[in-house]
Amino acid sequence: SFQVVVRGNGFLHARNINQVLCSFKINDTITVNEKPSGVENTFLLCTAPVIDEVGK
The full 3-state SS of 1-56, as one line of letters, equals CCEEEEECCCHHHCCCHHHCCEEEEECCCEEEEECCCEECCCEEEEECCCCCCCCC
Q: CA angle, 40 as apex, 37 and 42 as ends, to 5°?
A: 125
Q: Is 7 contained in some domain?
A: yes
Q: For the chain, how many structural domains are there in total?
A: 1
Q: Is the model's pTM score more than 0.95? A: no
CA atoms within 13 A on the CB side of 4: 14
- What pLDDT shows up at residue 55? 62
The 10s digit of each residue's pLDDT in 4-15 is: 999 999 999 989
Domain membership flag for residue 53 = no
Q: Range of 7's domain?
A: 3-47
Residue 52 lies in a domain: no
